[in-house]
Amino acid sequence: MYNKVKKNFVLQYGAKFLADAQYHSSKIYMQLRYVDILPVIPRNGNRYLKTIESKDPEYGKRWAVERLFSALKEMFSLAKNRLSV
């Protein structure tokens, strides 16, 4: 996901990268920190550790995008479409 964003957008110094807990990994954190991008990704829980939401106030903005995608899927009957690569 980060590589696609990097290819299509100009990222400013100190930019934030908001993502779901599924993107919580050392490799992703290191790659983002290397180019001075702040990862805002909650820790992914497992059977021993519970998921911890990010404390960054920007993380809440992610839900606005999710609502928009949901509305577009409903409006254009795309709810059941899947893309296989």
Residues 36-56 have pLDDT tens digits of: 888 888 877 665 666 555 577
**Does the pLDDT value for residue 26 go beyond 80?**
yes
- Is pTM beyond 0.75? Reply is no
Percent of the chain whose pLDDT exceeds 90: 0
Spell 32-55 as b/e; 16+ CB within 10 A means b. Answer: beeeebebbbbeeeeeeeeeeebe
Mean pLDDT to the nearest integer, 23-45: 84
When the pLDDT of each residue in the chain is averaged and rounded to a whole number, the result is 78
pLDDT of 46 reads 65
